[in-house]
Structure 1
Amino acid sequence: MFKKILIANRGEIACRVIKTARRMGIKTVAVYSDADARAKHVEMADEKVRLGPPPASESYLLAEAIILACKETGAEAVHPGYGFLSERTSFAKALEEAGIAFIGPPVGAIAAMGDKIESKKLAKAAGVNVVPGFLGEIADTDEAVRIAGDIGYPVMMKASAGGGGKGMRLAYSERDVREGFEATKREGLASFGDDRVFIEKFIESPRHIEIQVLGDKHGNILYLNERECSVQRRHQKVVEEAPSPFVTPEMRRAMGEQAVALARAVGYYSAGTVELIVSGADKTGKGFYFLEMNTRLQVEHPVTEYITGLDLVEQMIRVAYGERLAFTQDQVKLEGWSVENRVYAEDPYRGFLPSTGRLARYRPPAETADVRVDDGVYEGSEISMFYDPMIAKLVTYGATRSQAIDRQVAALDSFEIDGIGHNVDFLSALMQHPRFRSGELTTGFIAEEYPEGFQGAPADAALTARLAAVAGVIATAEAARASLIDGQLAPTAFSDTATAVAEWVVALDGAEHRVVIGGEAVTVDGQAVVVDAPYRPGQRLIEATIDGEPLAIRVVRQRSSWRFTTRGASHTLRVLAPRVAELSHHMIEKVPPDLSRFLLCPMPGLVTAINVAAGDKVEAGQPLAVVEAMKMENILRAEKTGTVKTVAAKPGESLAVDAVILEFE
């Protein structure tokens, strides 16, 4: 077996590979940019080598520097993770020429599947179902409009070398094609160095299902069941699970056999994924079509590991060393259910805008046999504008789908993240959504269920009463502490929270609840509640049990109020003594300033275009500016008719969140 391998990546996937290598007794080498000098993967590895400045083009994408690092450290093989150089044929060739093993598929397979146009032709020749579309090169926007019309709307425009949700535009009309074709080309060129675009039919009620394949260098190729990845936002996967609640055993076999046929057609070995678009309206089990093949390890591979009991990174390393697969297709297990959520540095309450900054607090849920956290950060780490905004992957397992989902909800409640925006509330809301739990999914799920954006998961009356009860308990504990410190109250009144007596008015979600704490008894609006909520002043996470049910609540003190975050939403609770609550109704409400005249930058980003000038009249929906963040172009549009008074920003300028771009009259 290899004695030492280098991981040509960063973040959670680098840490993930290091864990398996360490278990196998293999030494590891980490590479890093200046932005990652103190990153978790650098600390975990046995050795480390600096590559260069923060931009990936000057560090993680420098194949020559990585090969030099292998020679300097004596690394015999390279695991590329995903992204960066993982699917670059030139990198795999360069490693081969240097006598360094590539822990991945053969160069020919990467080349064949890396070009989405050529891969579809190969898939069709191999007998794989393909989506109707135009696979040739498209010269200009006018030709794109003609082709889209011939195929029939809606159509999807995709960068040929795209992936990870970048370089994709959905078009329902000629206007959409004319507006999006050039943007798709630019994204493809910026992210992948290839501006070719192809167009294909958009499948209605689509589900995104993928087949994990694994092969060795001796001609053995297997499929390791499927993953459902239909819950997406802007074509970026958010939730993945294995198996799929939609796929039948007959579909699984048909999909798997076609995936293996495609892999065999290109001489594939190592781990890879064949992605399929499946018509949710087709109940025959035959309405699935080839999308693309990812010739690398997928972000969502842990859910497959849970249901099969396999370590895919270990399998990749063993295959790269030349070993045969130690099991057959009939021995591939499918036991239980696994769900993965991607915890991103993005703010769902602000349209999922990217968030950068330092993790002032980072406490992931405790790992168990059924809860797994794959991350590449620690408290104090910085989420940089240079790389992917993923903070962690939360993976849970259960004997049933419902059990795996319930464990996600509980674990998400225990996730503590401060300092940046994050999507934990949104993920929890997804896990609780009746449609998600029913398994009736499509790739349009998020857009369809949250058309006006995300405002937090709704709280029912039972949850509201529980939150009010906990608020009363901790307010009593805080009052007891205050009485002992400053003597403002009789020293015995709150000397022991177990026997304290207090009455509070808790304002929550527009309603007031009267909470009475009397010894160990707690009542909310006259109804008895059994509360066990161990709390000490300053505590940030309360692990409570209310009426026998566990509930984790993240707690932040805000003067006379508290912010409780649990079950997919943040709630502001104002906890006051009855007389104070009565008087508070006479307080004058502070009105926030009117900022409707300004176009504010919604995220930290680079201004790539300003589409208007001072004095221009604009209509609702008209593009005003383009801001790029995390390599994604964001078009900012006018919300209503108006006239531009001044333009404060210019192309090429980097702006902070809420910076003024322009002002209307």
Structure 2
Amino acid sequence: MFEKILIANRGEIACRVIKTARRMGIATVAVYSDADARAPFVQMADEAVHIGPAAAAESYLVAEKIIEACRQTGAEAVHPGYGFLSERASFVEALEKENIAFIGPPANAIAAMGDKIESKKLAKEAGVNVVPGFVGEIEDTEHAVRISNDIGYPVMMKASAGGGGKGMRLAYSEQDVREGFESVRREGKNSFGDDRVFIEKFIEDPRHIEIQVLGDKHGTVLYLNERECSIQRRHQKVVEEAPSPFVSPEMRRKMGEQAVALSQAVGYHSAGTVELIVSGADPTGESFYFLEMNTRLQVEHPVTEAITGIDLVEQMIRVAAGEKLPMTQDDIGIDGWSIETRIYAEDPYRGFLPSTGRLVRYSTPVEAWAGDLRGNDGVRVDSGVQEGGEVSIFYDPMIAKLITWGETRDAAADLQIKALDRIELDGLGHNVDFLSALMQHSRFRSGELTTGFIAEEYPEGFTGAEPDEHMLRTVAGLVAGAQCTWDARAGRISGQLNGPPSPGSEWTVKMEGRQFDVTLGEGGATVDGQWIEGTWDWHPGKSLSTATADGKELGVHLHRNGAWWNLTTHGRRYRAMALPARLAPHAAHMIEKVPPDTSKMLLCPMPGLLVKLHVGEGDAVDAGQPLATVEAMKMENILRAEKAGTVATINAAEGETLVVDAVILELE
């Protein structure tokens, strides 16, 4: 067994590998960029080596710097995590020349399966179902248009070396191909150093199912059941679960055996994933097609660990050291259900725009994962950040992964809602409310999933989980209670004229465009004539508290904003005002502040790099026309005109780094 390994990665996956290595008695080495100098994974490792500037292309993607760090520290092996160099065959070959073990598959398997074009050819030769498409070299946009027209719309354009949802565009028309092909090329070049693109037919009502495989160097390859990853946004996974609510035992066996056969065909060992696209329109479940093989550890590996009891990182290390797998296919079972949600630094209330900044407040419902594959009472958090740390524009926007395990799918989802309520995240936008809303959604609960779920269920964007009448009355009661407590504290200030005022028990709460009449009482409140029994442990200055309402427990986030309260619970934000009932009629006479008109300006919606300006001064533009492309967190975002007009002035230049709300251009 190795005595010291180096983790060629950052963030939560670096923390994850370090913890398993520590439990195995193996010393660890972290490598870090300027942006990660104070990151938790650097503090956790036994040694740490600085490898360059913040940009990944100058640090984490430079193989020679990783190898030099191994030389300096005497690390015998490298775990690549996911992303960065994890699927680069040349990196594995370079390590082998230095007699450094790679904790992953052999270089030939990475080369064969890491290239999406070549892997499809190999899969087809092996008799595996592949999606109809064009897997040759595409010359330019015009060539891409001809291919797409021949295949028939919709089509998917993918960067050959892509992954993690990057370098992918769905095209429903020739115009979509013309607009998106070059962006796919650029994303592939910038993220993976490869601008080749392939095009394939987009499967209708698609479900994304993947098979976890695990092999050793002695010829054994096993499949560890499936994961469903159909809940995606911009082709990036948001929710993963194991097992899938769609897959039958017979379907699981067929998929698993096919994944094993493909793995054996390329001499695979270590952990890997065969990704399949399944037609949800086929009730037999027979219509599944090979998408790609990820020759690395997946982000969503914890859900497989939770239902099988197998530590995949530990097995990867043992396989790399030459050990045989300690289990057979018959030993692989399914115990319970596990769901993982990805907590991203992006604001779902603003079209999921990337959000960067400092984590002013950050705490999770349980301590960061310490070794139990199912966490603490079924809740596990894999995180790579800490309070006071910064989420920068240079890397993926994932803050943490929340994994829950239960005896049933509903139990695992209920645990997700409860845990998400208790996450504190202030300082930047995040998707916690959105994840909670997904867990509560009736369609998710029924298991009727497709990769178009988010677009279909939130076509007008996300405004919060839909509350029922009881939830609205509960929130109104909480706001009235908060205002009463706030006023009571103010009344205790000494020296007030006429003595301390009494806040009273009769309140009017304005919220959600409605008005609620609230009477506070002992052990609860009457809201619009209905009694709600409950308790609440909030006091001024406390941002997260626990409330009960008619026996239902809620995690409540509460902040004061002038005369208003911002309250968040169960996946929805509420903006409310509570007034003494006797004063409420006078509120209609208060003057509202009108926000400035910015409708003629194109504002940068997030911090990022202005990659391309599509128009110039004096150009006439139509509604929906692309105006600029901004890159943030390794993803390109096309900004479009909200209305027709003429470009009056250009205020930014290509290659310029922009802040939020920076004016890119103005229309006449």
Query: Following TM superposition, by how much is the alpha carbon of 1:518 offset from its aligned partner in structure 2, in angstroms?
Result: 3.0
Question: Where does residue 191 of structure 1 map in the other structure?
Answer: 191
SS of the residue 1:485 aligns to: coil
SS of the residue 1:291 aligns to: strand
Matches within 5 A, 1:212-251: 212-251=212-251
Distance 1:358 1:54 in 2: 16
Distance 1:179 1:197 in 2: 14
Tell me, yes or no, if structure 1 residue 549 matches structure 2 residue 552. Answer: yes
* Aligned-CA RMSD value: 1.5
Distance 1:655 1:179 in 2: 23
Alignment equivalent of 1:486, drawn from 494, 505, 524:
494
Q: For 1:511-560, what per-residue CA distance to the aligned partner results, in whole angstroms no more than 9, with x for missing partners?
A: 22222223335222232221110122211111111111101111111122
Deviates more, 1:192-201 or 1:363-372: 363-372
Distance 1:292 1:467 in 2: 47
Amino acid at match of 1:579: R
Tell me, yes or no, if structure 1 residue 316 matches structure 2 residue 316. Answer: yes
Matches within 5 A, 1:248-267: 248-267=248-267
Question: Where does residue 648 of structure 1 map in the other structure?
Answer: 651
Query: Following TM superposition, by how much is the alpha carbon of 1:191 offset from its aligned partner in structure 2, in angstroms?
Result: 1.4
Is the contact made by 1:357 and 1:419 (CA closer than 8 Å) also made in structure 2?
yes
Deviates more, 1:10-19 or 1:508-517: 508-517
Matches within 5 A, 1:491-640: 502-640=505-643
Amino acid at match of 2:505: A
Is the contact made by 2:395 and 2:634 (CA closer than 8 Å) also made in structure 1?
no
Q: For 1:571-604, what per-residue CA distance to the aligned partner results, in whole angstroms no more than 9, with x for missing partners?
A: 0121111123221121122222211111111111
SS of the residue 2:113 aligns to: helix
Amino acid at match of 1:95: L
Question: Where does residue 179 of structure 1 map in the other structure?
Answer: 179
Matches within 5 A, 1:391-406: 391-406=399-414
SS of the residue 1:110 aligns to: helix
Question: Where does residue 449 of structure 2 map in the other structure?
Answer: 441
Distance 1:554 1:265 in 2: 53
SS of the residue 1:470 aligns to: helix
Distance 1:521 1:442 in 2: 42
Is the contact made by 1:501 and 1:519 (CA closer than 8 Å) also made in structure 2?
no
Is the contact made by 1:643 and 1:664 (CA closer than 8 Å) also made in structure 2?
yes
Question: Where does residue 75 of structure 2 map in the other structure?
Answer: 75
Is the contact made by 2:273 and 2:295 (CA closer than 8 Å) also made in structure 1?
yes
Tell me, yes or no, if structure 1 residue 420 matches structure 2 residue 423. Answer: no
Question: Where does residue 469 of structure 2 map in the other structure?
Answer: 461
Query: Following TM superposition, by how much is the alpha carbon of 1:66 offset from its aligned partner in structure 2, in angstroms?
Result: 1.3
Question: Where does residue 385 of structure 2 map in the other structure?
Answer: 377
Amino acid at match of 1:452: E
The TM-score, its normalising length taken from structure 2, stands at 0.97
Distance 2:497 2:98 in 1: 77
Amino acid at match of 1:581: A
Distance 2:461 2:505 in 1: 40
Is the contact made by 2:524 and 2:535 (CA closer than 8 Å) also made in structure 1?
no
Task: Flag as ranges the 4+ runs of structure 1 deviating above 4 A.
Answer: 487-494
Query: Following TM superposition, by how much is the alpha carbon of 1:493 offset from its aligned partner in structure 2, in angstroms?
Result: 7.8
Distance 1:456 1:518 in 2: 29
Q: For 1:285-335, what per-residue CA distance to the aligned partner results, in whole angstroms no more than 9, with x for missing partners?
A: 210000000000000001101111111101101111111111110110201
SS of the residue 2:516 aligns to: strand
Amino acid at match of 1:242: A
SS of the residue 1:579 aligns to: coil
Distance 2:497 2:567 in 1: 27
Question: Where does residue 203 of structure 2 map in the other structure?
Answer: 203
Is the contact made by 2:351 and 2:462 (CA closer than 8 Å) also made in structure 1?
yes
How many aligned positions are there?
Answer: 660
Question: Where does residue 497 of structure 1 map in the other structure?
Answer: none
Tell me, yes or no, if structure 1 residue 8 matches structure 2 residue 35. Answer: no
Amino acid at match of 2:301: H
Distance 1:341 1:632 in 2: 20
Deviates more, 1:507-516 or 1:219-228: 507-516
SS of the residue 2:623 aligns to: coil
Deviates more, 1:457-466 or 1:260-269: 457-466
Query: Following TM superposition, by how much is the alpha carbon of 1:501 offset from its aligned partner in structure 2, in angstroms?
Result: 5.7
Amino acid at match of 1:168: M
Distance 1:487 1:560 in 2: 24
Amino acid at match of 1:63: A
Question: Where does residue 121 of structure 1 map in the other structure?
Answer: 121
Query: Following TM superposition, by how much is the alpha carbon of 1:437 offset from its aligned partner in structure 2, in angstroms?
Result: 1.1
Amino acid at match of 2:140: D
Distance 1:179 1:530 in 2: 56
Question: Where does residue 40 of structure 1 map in the other structure?
Answer: 40
Is the contact made by 2:618 and 2:646 (CA closer than 8 Å) also made in structure 1?
yes
Matches within 5 A, 1:280-299: 280-299=280-299
Amino acid at match of 1:419: G
Tell me, yes or no, if structure 1 residue 470 matches structure 2 residue 470. Answer: no
Query: Following TM superposition, by how much is the alpha carbon of 1:71 offset from its aligned partner in structure 2, in angstroms?
Result: 1.8
Query: Following TM superposition, by how much is the alpha carbon of 1:240 offset from its aligned partner in structure 2, in angstroms?
Result: 0.5
Return 5+ residue gaps in structure 1 as ranges.
495-499
Amino acid at match of 2:390: E
Amino acid at match of 1:573: A
Is the contact made by 2:630 and 2:636 (CA closer than 8 Å) also made in structure 1?
yes
Say if 1:501 and 1:531 are closer, same or farther in 2 by CA, change over 3 A: farther
Amino acid at match of 1:226: E
Query: Following TM superposition, by how much is the alpha carbon of 1:475 offset from its aligned partner in structure 2, in angstroms?
Result: 2.4
Query: Following TM superposition, by how much is the alpha carbon of 1:186 offset from its aligned partner in structure 2, in angstroms?
Result: 1.8
Distance 1:488 1:437 in 2: 55
Distance 1:616 1:138 in 2: 31
Query: Following TM superposition, by how much is the alpha carbon of 1:490 offset from its aligned partner in structure 2, in angstroms?
Result: 8.4
Question: Where does residue 343 of structure 1 map in the other structure?
Answer: 343
Q: For 1:376-405, what per-residue CA distance to the aligned partner results, in whole angstroms no more than 9, with x for missing partners?
A: 000001001111111000111111111111
Is the contact made by 1:5 and 1:27 (CA closer than 8 Å) also made in structure 2?
yes
Deviates more, 1:136-145 or 1:315-324: 136-145
SS of the residue 1:452 aligns to: coil
SS of the residue 2:493 aligns to: helix
Distance 1:470 1:603 in 2: 33
Question: Where does residue 302 of structure 1 map in the other structure?
Answer: 302
Is the contact made by 1:250 and 1:285 (CA closer than 8 Å) also made in structure 2?
no
Is the contact made by 1:214 and 1:271 (CA closer than 8 Å) also made in structure 2?
yes
Is the contact made by 2:41 and 2:384 (CA closer than 8 Å) also made in structure 1?
yes
Amino acid at match of 2:464: G
Is the contact made by 2:504 and 2:580 (CA closer than 8 Å) also made in structure 1?
no
SS of the residue 2:652 aligns to: coil
Is the contact made by 1:483 and 1:490 (CA closer than 8 Å) also made in structure 2?
no
Amino acid at match of 2:423: F
Say if 1:511 and 1:389 are closer, same or farther in 2 by CA, change over 3 A: same
Distance 1:481 1:153 in 2: 64
Question: Where does residue 363 of structure 1 map in the other structure?
Answer: 363
Distance 1:221 1:539 in 2: 52
Query: Following TM superposition, by how much is the alpha carbon of 1:648 offset from its aligned partner in structure 2, in angstroms?
Result: 1.0
Amino acid at match of 1:639: E
